[in-house]
Amino acid sequence: EVQLLESGGGLVQPGGSLRLSCAASGFTFSSYTMSWVRQAPGKGLEWVSGIPASAESTHYTDSVKGRFTISRDNSKNTLNLQMSSLRAEDTAIYYCAKGRSCGGTTCSYFEHWGQGTLVTVSS
Amino acid sequence: EIVLTQSPATLSLSPGEGATLSCRASQSVSNSLAWYQQKPGQAPRLLIYDASSRATGIPARFSGRGSGTDFTLTISSLEPEDFALYYCQHRNNWPLTFGGGTKVEIK
């Protein structure tokens, strides 16, 4: 059974930093593209960042470029999101999401999600 | 960045009725579009990928169609558990984006 377990959320002051982690199990982590998706309170879904299986590239939505860094450790089945210069508008539930198998590769349709971790940016 | 516009924002229907949700892309995404369902307090659930393929375990009453810039999700006959929020998402290129969502509510 695929499991994605996020951790690291909490309350942080504006301008502060936080590191989110996602522990993956139940599948071959090193074979799948992974992403972070967030949802502000009462708002819709926003894709934040993605990283292919071998981490040859990283991708971000414009609003977090230069502030957030996605990484993965395939030896530990872990996905990370280092967040810095946090703003009030970064307040959201952050979900770890696994890409779907697509004809021998993986593609960024999210068939499995974690339960989410809440990040609150406030003074 | 590709912008996905969903309409209507809210759909008020009764159980047993059919629902048609729309998603329009600001530029072509070919068939690289997915639909998700989300209920309060839950993570989203993948319903449809590649515009028209049902994900594992999704009932046949859910169907998707479209290509290029115009897509629809159809629920043939609404069950009580189908009243929820629905989002489209493209994977045509980076950055990925989601639509703003359509709420299907009980009339």
- Closest-CA residue of A relative to B32 is A109
Bridge partners of residue B97, in order along the sequence: B90
Bridge partners of residue A19, in order along the sequence: A82
pLDDT at A119: 98
Token code pair at residue A85? 């210069």
CA distances from B94 to A43, A52, B77, B104 (A): 22, 12, 35, 29
Q: Please indicate whether, in this complex, the C-beta atoms of A45 and B95 are within 8 angstroms of each other.
A: no
pLDDT at A101: 87
Provide the residue count of chain A.
Answer: 123
pLDDT at A104: 76
Bridge partners of residue A121, in order along the sequence: A12
Tell me which chain A residues have a C-beta less than 8 angstroms from the C-beta of B97.
47, 61
Partner A contacted by B60 (CB < 8 A): no
User: Residue B53: phi, psi to the nearest 5?
Assistant: -95, 130
One digit per residue, the tens of pLDDT, for chain A of length 123 reads 999 999 999 999 999 999 999 999 999 999 999 999 999 999 999 999 999 999 999 999 999 999 999 999 999 999 999 999 999 999 999 999 999 988 778 889 999 999 999 999 999
Do the strands A117-121 and A68-73 form a parallel or antiparallel pair, or are they unpaired?
Answer: unpaired
One digit per residue, the tens of pLDDT, for chain B of length 107 reads 999 999 999 999 999 999 999 999 999 999 999 999 999 999 999 999 999 999 999 999 999 999 999 999 999 999 999 999 999 999 999 999 999 999 999 99
Torsion angle of the four alpha carbons B50, A98, A31, B34, in this order, in degrees rounded to the nearest 10: 10
Q: Which helix (H) or strand (E) holds A100?
A: strand A92-102
- Report the alpha-carbon distance of residue A37 to residue A48 in Å, rounded: 5
Q: Are B90 and B26 in contact (CB under 8 A)?
A: no
Provide the residue count of chain B.
Answer: 107
The dihedral built from the CA positions of residue B21, B34, A44 and B83, taken in this order, carries a sign that is: positive
Q: Please indicate whether, in this complex, the C-beta atoms of A110 and B97 are within 8 angstroms of each other.
A: no
pLDDT at A106: 85
User: Residue B97: phi, psi to the nearest 5?
Assistant: -140, 155
Tell me which chain B residues have a C-beta less than 8 angstroms from the C-beta of A44.
85, 87, 98-101
Bridge partners of residue B78, in order along the sequence: none
Bridge partners of residue A10, in order along the sequence: A119
pLDDT at A103: 76
How many interchain CB pairs under 8 A, A with B?
Answer: 61
